[in-house]
Amino acid sequence: MKNQIPRIPLKALIAIVFTVFTISSNLKAQDGAKLFKQNCAVCHSSHTDQKLTGPGLKGVFDRVPKGDWINRWILNSEKLIKGGDAYANKIYGENGKAAMTVFEGNLTPKDIDAILGFIKAPLPVAAAAPAGGPANLEGTQGETAGGIEPLYVILAVIVIMAVLLASLRSVRTALQNTVNRSDNQDEAMEVTFWQEVKNWMGGHRRFVGVMAIILIFVGMKSCWDACYTIGVYYDYKTQKGYKPEQPIKFSHKIHAGDNEIACQYCHSSVEKSRHAGIPTVNICMNCHKGIQTGPQYQGKEIGKIYEAAGFDPKTLAYDDSKQNPLKWIKVHNLPDHVYFNHSQHVVVGKIDCATCHGNLKEMTVAEQKAPLTMKWCIDCHRKTEVVMEGNAYYDRLHKALKEKYAGQYDVKFTVDKIGGLECAKCHY
């Protein structure tokens, strides 16, 4: 019996190579999306014409000068403007002479390359989906579980698959020899891996040729794109779907939903401060000094509260020397240059917590449901009517507006009509 060279291992190897290539490209796109969200999304939309603080970036590569102009603009737009660059001064004037952030020293050439690659690429369907966002993109921070870089995972998969293929080749040869011996034939000569490759390529010349052409063009395109960033230097969380693991497995569903505990009981400063406030362990102990077991984790998670408070559930005594403060992870974050006042929205505006934070009464783990971007806030201000009747805060304003708009009975007083779109309201 002739020792036949199977095609499956080589096809599997080719599939692995192309899978790795695809995954690597996707990771680069994900890095670009992450960097864009961190550095650019506050002022620009990536794949539309919609203007935020700055212009939408759809078709931007057809508008700007060729070469490395856009890289130098991202790096230091101020330098281009002061240097007398005609196009830089043109768009500077068209956008109300609003200064763009200088990223020199903060972003590397690789970062800018990733950002531009993200803008050039079609927007993934998952990224545009309104519900939940792209699989906790920001929550994972571009890494796999445990903080392992994806590239290392890919390399590990390649090594494992290579070992598996080598093992399969050995098993195949051993089985072939067993068959040959049973047929009183000579044992098959073991064919080396590279001989297999050569023989397989000889039998599939058309396929190999097409793949070679594709790889050459992809490589040339990558080199071409890399050349655009030569000599250019360039590294917030408005992350929909962000759901970090907390030091205690606290369920909002059990507390706010099943037991109907008001949000204000734990977040006690939400009605009198710009901050909602993180509950102190003393607030937890108000209930859990007596409630020592829970429906899901029994006493395990509640025991962490006792450890933080220095409380002994057996003696019901506190020991200050054994306190270990909890380090909660903030879920809803805004950039440092944004001012948001909880009391103004909750007390004066009568806004329900779920408007911004989602229905926490149904959440076991707190998760960011709204994007919390400037566009999202502005849209809310344009749609939300001001609750004036019976609201002493607006009595004088209500009287003045009724006189100003006398006879216009269809006027709806939304937040934008009382200064809700003024820049200084949120940026000061």
Q: How confident is the model over 296-305, as pLDDT tens digits? A: 888 889 999 9
Q: Say which residue the tokens 């063009």 belong to.
A: 217
Q: Under 8 Å CB-to-CB from 108, ≥6 apart: which residues?
A: 233, 234, 235
Q: Say which residue the tokens 């429906």 belong to.
A: 295
| pLDDT at site 304 | 92
Specify whether the CB–CB gap between 196 and 173 falls below 8 A. Answer: no
With 70 as the cut, is the pLDDT of residue 130 above it?
A: no
Q: Domain coordinates of the chain in residue numbers?
A: 1-235, 373-428
- For 125, the enclosing helix (H) or strand (E) is helix 125-128
- Give me the count of residues in the chain: 428
Residues 34 and 150: their CA atoms lie apart, in Å, by 15
Residues 8 and 97: their CA atoms lie apart, in Å, by 62
| pLDDT at site 17 | 56
Residues 241 and 253: their CA atoms lie apart, in Å, by 17
- Domain 1-235 top-level CATH class: mainly alpha
Residues 276 and 94: their CA atoms lie apart, in Å, by 39
Structure tokens at 403: 């006189």
Q: What is the pTM of this model?
A: 0.44
The alpha helices in 292-373, defined as continuous H runs, are 300-309, 342-343, 353-357
Tell me the average pLDDT across 48-52.
73
pLDDT tens for 230-249 read: 433 333 444 778 888 899 99
Q: Which stretch of 117-126, 135-144, 258-267, 410-419 has the lowest confidence by average pLDDT?
A: 135-144
pLDDT tens for 239-296 read: 778 888 899 999 999 999 888 888 888 998 999 999 998 888 988 988 888 888 888 8
Q: Of the spans 108-112, 237-241, 327-331, 392-396, which averages the highest pLDDT?
A: 327-331
| pLDDT at site 420 | 87
Average pLDDT of the chain is 77
Tell me the average pLDDT across 110-114.
84
| pLDDT at site 132 | 36
